[in-house]
Amino acid sequence: MYKKIVHQKRIYMAFLAMLLFVFQYLYADRLTPYRIIQFLLTDLSLVAFIFIFHGFELNTLKSKNAVVISTLLGSFLGVLVGMFFIILIFGANRDVYRNEFIATTLAASLVIPLLSMLYYRMVLSKIPTSHCIIIGDKATYGALLTEVEESAQGKILIVQWASSVAQAREIFKGIRNEAIIIANLQLYRELAPDVYELEKKGNQKYFITEVVEDWLYRIPLTVVEEYKDYYELFFNQTPITQEQRLMDIVFGLVMGIMSTPFILLFGILVVLNSGFPVIFRQKRVGLYEQSFTFYKVRSLKEDKQLENSENPNGTITQRITWVGKILRKTRIDEFPQFVNILNGTMSVVGPRPEMGIYHDKWKKEIPFYGFRTMVRPGLTGWAQINYGHTTSLEEYIRKTEYDLYYVKNKSLSFDIQIMMKTFETFLGMKGGK
């Protein structure tokens, strides 16, 4: 069912891009190959930025205000970025059809919210609710699957729980078109022949692994512990490709050059505000648990007692300077890490690197925490844009669940998606504190 919604979303995004092009075609007084390229670049950028601002997510579409805000921001920034790339590719001396782009922004801002609300109603009406029987204990998985129900906007409904073989077989006698979600693996092994017979009759079977990943975008540790062998196989085979390293080098070079003036400017402000040093250096744990030197523009006052406290993240509000507040809000304090990206100790995307003492601490207290280091640590990452800073054990557990999701699903396209969503965080709209 999740795959149906994703498929519908892709069709809708393609439809919007085509609709925008038709509008531009009708609005423009003439059409040339150069103008067609401009329009296509701008339309794709506009739709992509609405996607970045969650304009096509079910949780956004259920709120009229959220739809309007996502569309306005996505349309404006999408057209702006599209024009930037047009000038970058073709040069500023060529004609850029600003009137058409302004008209496109206005048309998109007015029409797309209405179409998106119609699309939302279509998804809710056309895709049937999946009534599910859970093979597992409600006490263990109840809260987790309630979260899935809420995220699925009523498209998944838990109707029965089977926590024993006898209970499951009794439920199976009266089963109609309900889907079966396998939570307890041991119980499923005993019921495998029964479930297979139901599958032959047309009942759908899903493992809780795919259900929680599809709807929650993280891997809860309860599920990892139940499916330990399955997940360890994925975590130990995470690829580190040459394509991703090439992206790191190109991005690190370009952004390193562009960020230098900001580092110099804020470096002067740091010195005037709180003295030297400007660059904060610290040992962190990286790929395969190897130690490396991590760089940031200093945003906190130096206080050895607070720095060495049991929870240094909890002392940030006591130590931050007024310049540091600006640095952290804009994330300019992270710019020196382009050096880490270029020297290969970090990547653009990956789990945030921890200090050794805390890495060792959480590795003992949080199952599977060490698998975060199967990829290079990143300047941004899936956990950062979804959860932000952490201080308590419960928060570290949740952040680890997002990191494990990234490790399992790491790919070049996923990295690009995270980089795009980081732009939203940079604007201060979500996560990434």
pLDDT 10s digits, 337-351: 999 999 999 999 999
What angle (nearest 5°) sits at the alpha carbon of residue 118, between those of residues 115 and 122? 135
More confident residue, 336 or 152: 336
pLDDT band at 106 (very low <50, low <70, confident <90, very high): confident
- pLDDT of 429 > 50? The answer is no
- Rounded CA gap, 397 and 169, in Å? 36
pLDDT band at 97 (very low <50, low <70, confident <90, very high): low
pLDDT value of position 42: 87
pLDDT value of position 194: 95
pLDDT value of position 309: 56
More confident residue, 199 or 411: 199
Give exposure, 14-46, as e/b (b: 16+ Cβ within 10 Å). Answer: eebbebbbebbeeebeeeeeebeebbebbbbbb
Q: Is 143 exposed, middle or buried (0-12, 13-18, 19+ CB in 10 A)?
A: exposed
Write the CATH number of the domain with boundaries 130-216: 3.40.50.2300
- Rounded CA gap, 200 and 212, in Å? 25
Instruction: Give whole-number Cα distances, 346 to 124, 323, 392, 421, in Å.
Output: 42, 26, 25, 19
Report DSSP state, residue 10. Answer: H
- Name the token pair of 286: 């990286």
Q: How would you classify the pairing of strands 291-297 and 279-285? A: antiparallel
pLDDT band at 427 (very low <50, low <70, confident <90, very high): low
Share of the chain above pLDDT 70, in %: 91
Query: 377, 352 in Cβ contact below 8 A?
Result: yes
When the pLDDT of each residue in the chain is averaged and rounded to a whole number, the result is 86
| DSSP letters spanning 303-319 | -HHHHTSS-GGGGHHHH
In the chain, how long is the greatest CA-to-CA distance? 77
pLDDT value of position 283: 94
Other beta carbons within 10 angstroms of residue 55's beta carbon come to: 26
pLDDT band at 222 (very low <50, low <70, confident <90, very high): very high
- Residue from 70, 84, 74 nearest 105 by CA: 74
Share of the chain above pLDDT 90, in %: 45
Query: 52, 78 in Cβ contact below 8 A?
Result: no
- pLDDT of 152 > 90? The answer is no
pLDDT band at 408 (very low <50, low <70, confident <90, very high): very high
Whether cis (ω within 30° of 0) applies to the bond prior to 277 is yes
- All residues at 6 or more sequence positions from 428 whose CB lies less than 8 Å from its CB, including other chains: 329
- Rounded CA gap, 303 and 287, in Å? 29
pLDDT value of position 426: 60
pLDDT band at 432 (very low <50, low <70, confident <90, very high): very low
Q: Is 429 exposed, middle or buried (0-12, 13-18, 19+ CB in 10 A)?
A: middle
pLDDT value of position 303: 63
Element housing 133 (H / E):
strand 130-135
**Is the Cα dihedral 22, 27, 31, 36 positive or negative?**
negative
Domain boundaries, the chain: 2-126, 130-216, 242-426
Highest mean predicted confidence (pLDDT) among 101-105, 126-130, 195-199:
195-199
pLDDT band at 122 (very low <50, low <70, confident <90, very high): confident
Write down the number of H helices and E strands in the chain. 20, 8
